[in-house]
Amino acid sequence: MAERARRTKSWLVNGAVKDYLDRLGQDERRWGETIEALASVKAGRIVDGDQMMEWIASWGIRRSAPARKASAVIRKTVKDYRRTLRRLA
């Protein structure tokens, strides 16, 4: 394999280890995001899907639908997400 790639065995091994560690890091970040999302749901920071779609559909219309509860929940969720990203970085 090293000969076909015209690389040394150590170069191939180093690349494989790097790729593995990158994937492992992505898995850990996803797991952290999942835990944060579940905590948000448990805390009641959810928005009904139909309400969200109605609000999104109103974007670009002269008089967009008021964001109401959805906007507050989204702001809180984004804030939690950013906090999680800072903690994981």
Question: Can you tell me which residue has the tokens 């797991």?
Answer: 31
For residue 70, pLDDT beyond 60: no
- What global pTM score does this model have? 0.46
How large a percentage of the chain has pLDDT more than 90? 21
Mean pLDDT of the chain: 80
Question: Can you tell me which residue has the tokens 């109605």?
Answer: 54
